[in-house]
Amino acid sequence: MGSQRLMTFPPSVLERIADNTSRLRAPAGLANAQCNLSLIKRSVLEMASELPRKPCAVVVAGGPSLKRQNIIRRIRDLQDRPLLVCCEVALAGCLREEVVPDVIISLDPHPHRIVRCLGDPQFHQRPEDDYFQRQDLDVELREDGAVQNELIMRLVNRYGSRICAALATSVNRQVAERCVESGMSLFWWNPLYDDWSQQASYTRRVFDLTGGIPCLNGLGHSGGAAWVLAHAVLGYKRVGIVGMDLGYPEGTSVVNTQYYDVVRHLPKAQAEQLLVTVENPVTGARYLIDPVYCWYRDAFLDAVRQADCVTVNCSGEGNLFGDGIEWCELEEFTARPSSTPSTGATA
């Protein structure tokens, strides 16, 4: 099917997203790295020795398919559970079903949203923010925020000692402190913000600041970083993916998307037009995509084609298809640790 790039947004738009992401996140990431210095002791290169070795790894991202396809309960019911590398946004959903990931990963520098994924001790002091009432990743958080926050705190505190946290130095200090408080073992990595050969590079500055903590190309989001960690750092040759939809089910309002913060200044009807419909050639289903997810998708496909591992989408839906990505059911992927999945040809 060729490269399956989605010709839905002009290249100039996607290039501007990349530039803006670096420009906005790099200063915050560097400032957070400075705040985290006293906690930065071990790098992700030391993590493998503390993890069980399994035949394969599965990345658990937080997209709508995680709930729509009942994936967490299906993971719980697997006879042989793979190594689970979980995005922080999917952690609460896993722990609610008593599925304890081996690793959680986080990189977003946001000052107060990400800590909610671990239970926020300062919940009642936070500024007003409608994000959790409208987001599509963990719909349990849309109502009774205080009750859910307390539940998540209890769950993370109960299971934290069984989890390794792969934290980007860019995370807010409170995220790292919550990991420590819950008993997690911390392992660190530096994001690639820019070309580190340049004299004013943020990547080089944060690398020097942290005493040589290794840099990892997280592909712009925690799901991409989890996939890179699984194959490039932990050495897995077969990596499954669940919940990495890089889009929204058809019919989702722009208000309930991750993209809304970027376009909420626009009239709603105009903002809705910035979501483009895509048909998945593997499933035949239709999904929506925004410019940011399109950029993430293109970067992921480029990385997959260069990676020395088999990448299998077990989500059952979504926009992550293309050269180098195989599709099959989660149960089949984990039951065939040494062979190529047979369901669904490479898209």
- Tens place of pLDDT for every residue, the chain, 347 residues? 334 556 566 566 556 655 665 667 899 999 999 999 999 999 999 999 999 999 999 999 999 999 999 999 999 999 899 999 999 999 999 999 999 999 999 999 999 999 999 999 999 999 888 877 777 777 677 677 889 999 999 999 999 999 999 999 999 999 999 999 999 999 999 999 988 888 889 999 999 999 999 999 999 899 999 999 999 999 999 999 999 999 999 999 999 888 888 888 889 999 898 899 999 999 999 999 998 899 899 999 999 999 999 999 999 999 999 999 999 999 999 998 554 333 333 33
Instruction: With CA atoms as reference, report the closest residue to 289 among 7, 18, 19.
Output: 7
Six token digits for residue 13: 């738009």
| 6 in any annotated domain | no
| 341 in any annotated domain | no
Q: Please tell me the predicted confidence (pLDDT) of residue 105.
A: 98
| 67 in any annotated domain | yes
State how far the Cα of 178 lies from the Cα of 117, in Å rounded to an integer. 10
Q: Please tell me the predicted confidence (pLDDT) of residue 339.
A: 42
The domain of 209 spans 11-334
- pTM given for the model: 0.91
| 219 in any annotated domain | yes
Q: Residue 134, class by beta-carbon neighbours within 10 Å (0-12 exposed, 13-18 middle, 19+ buried)?
A: middle
Q: Please tell me the predicted confidence (pLDDT) of residue 25.
A: 84
| 342 in any annotated domain | no
State how far the Cα of 105 lies from the Cα of 39, in Å rounded to an integer. 16
* H/E stretch holding 159: helix 145-159
* Structural domains counted in the chain: 1
- Exposure string (b/e) for 200-228, b if CB count within 10 Å is 16 or more? ebbbbbbbebbeebebbebbbbbbbbbbb
Query: What DSSP letter does each residue of 165-181 carry, written as one string?
Result: EEEETTS-HHHHHHHHH
| 344 in any annotated domain | no
| 345 in any annotated domain | no
State how far the Cα of 15 lies from the Cα of 219, in Å rounded to an integer. 14
Q: How far is C-alpha 248 from the geometric centre of its chain's CA atoms?
A: 15
| 304 in any annotated domain | yes
Q: Please tell me the predicted confidence (pLDDT) of residue 246.
A: 96
State how far the Cα of 255 lies from the Cα of 272, in Å rounded to an integer. 8
* H/E stretch holding 204: helix 202-209
Query: What DSSP letter does each residue of 19-81 carry, written as one string?
Result: HHHHHHHHHHHHHHHHHHGGG---BGGGSGGGS---S-EEEE--STHHHHTTHHHHHHT-SSP
State how far the Cα of 35 lies from the Cα of 29, in Å rounded to an integer. 10
